């Protein structure tokens, strides 16, 4: 009997209005820009070119991730694929920073403090989540809802956000808290994982360009 294809594809949503305006977004719900739509369509085309199809998809409850998911699924010819939406996959909550321009935040709290909030692992912005908090929210959902399907041979798409996907990449790539905060995810760029029977990573390919 052949090995199941334990396929897991992670995609950060396409550019949003607030990415473009350099605003902290978090759980706020801006739409995709025309460039973001193009990025999501391009992600679908790249996956289609590889001949990839999916059995199930997961996304957050935020529209920028859902639209990205829909455009990717349309691109691979599966617009009606069963898709689960859960706030466990939402972006990190930036609390009081949400909606602020990053330069304005630096003027208000200082360059160093804003850098710590953005790039430390366990320091929370006022009223918000640290990356550590985000990992603690995302991982149980991944282990309970997503990973069993992947290990069962269901080809799985996850369209989510920079920080919720960092949480998954931290575990999949076995990165330290110090390493994961330096990982940058481009909008609309698929990361294709294939897992071994022990849930380790057999292969990883970033579909850039």
**Cα–Cα distance measured from residue 6 to residue 149, given in angstroms and rounded to the nearest whole number:** 9
For the question of whether the overall pTM of this predicted structure is more than 0.75, the answer is: yes
Percent of the chain with pLDDT over 70: 99
pLDDT band at 122 (very low <50, low <70, confident <90, very high): very high
Q: For all residues of the chain together, what is the average pLDDT?
A: 95
- The pLDDT of residue 80 is 95
pLDDT band at 56 (very low <50, low <70, confident <90, very high): very high
- The pLDDT of residue 21 is 92
List b or e across 45-70, with b for residues whose CB sees 16 or more CB atoms inside 10 angstroms.
ebbbeeebebbbbbbbebbbbbbbbb
| Mean pLDDT score, 1-10 | 84
pLDDT band at 209 (very low <50, low <70, confident <90, very high): confident
**Cα–Cα distance measured from residue 51 to residue 45, given in angstroms and rounded to the nearest whole number:** 10
Sketch the domain layout of the chain as residue ranges: 7-206
Q: Is the pLDDT of residue 102 over 80?
A: yes
pLDDT, one tens digit per residue, over 130-174 is: 999 999 999 999 999 999 999 999 999 999 999 999 999 999 999
| Mean pLDDT score, 11-35 | 94
| Mean pLDDT score, 92-113 | 94
* Weakest-pLDDT range from 18-22, 42-46, 73-77, 151-155: 18-22
- The pLDDT of residue 17 is 94
For the question of residue 13 being annotated catalytic, the response is yes
| Mean pLDDT score, 85-92 | 98
For the question of residue 184 being annotated catalytic, the response is no
- Which residue in the list 39, 91, 129, 189 is annotated as catalytic? 91
- The pLDDT of residue 8 is 98
pLDDT band at 2 (very low <50, low <70, confident <90, very high): low
| Mean pLDDT score, 121-127 | 95
Domain spanning 7-206, CATH architecture = 3-Layer(aba) Sandwich (3.40)
**Cα–Cα distance measured from residue 80 to residue 61, given in angstroms and rounded to the nearest whole number:** 18
Closest C-alpha among 101, 50, 56 to residue 78: 56
pLDDT band at 1 (very low <50, low <70, confident <90, very high): low
């Amino acid at each position: 009997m052949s090995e199941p294809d334990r396929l897991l594809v992670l995609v950060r949503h396409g550019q949003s209005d607030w990415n473009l305006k350099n605003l902290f977004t978090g759980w706020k719900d801006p739409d995709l820009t025309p460039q973001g739509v193009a990025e999501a369509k391009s992600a679908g085309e790249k996956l289609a070119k590889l001949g990839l199809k999916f059995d199930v998809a997961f996304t957050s409850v935020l529209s920028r991730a859902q639209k990205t998911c829909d455009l990717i699924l349309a691109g691979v010819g599966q617009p009606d694929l069963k898709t689960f939406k859960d706030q466990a996959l939402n972006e990190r909550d930036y609390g009081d920073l949400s909606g602020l321009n990053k330069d304005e935040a630096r003027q208000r709290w200082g360059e160093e403090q804003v850098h710590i909030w953005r790039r430390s692992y366990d320091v929370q912005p006022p009223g918000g989540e640290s990356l550590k908090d985000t990992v603690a929210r995302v991982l149980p959902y991944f282990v309970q809802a997503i990973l069993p399907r992947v290990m069962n041979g269901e080809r799985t798409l996850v369209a989510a956000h920079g920080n919720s996907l960092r949480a998954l990449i931290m575990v999949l790539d076995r990165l330290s808290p110090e390493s994961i905060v330096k990982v940058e995810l481009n909008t609309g760029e698929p990361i294709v994982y294939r897992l071994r029977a022990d849930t380790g990573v057999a292969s990883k390919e970033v579909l850039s360009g």
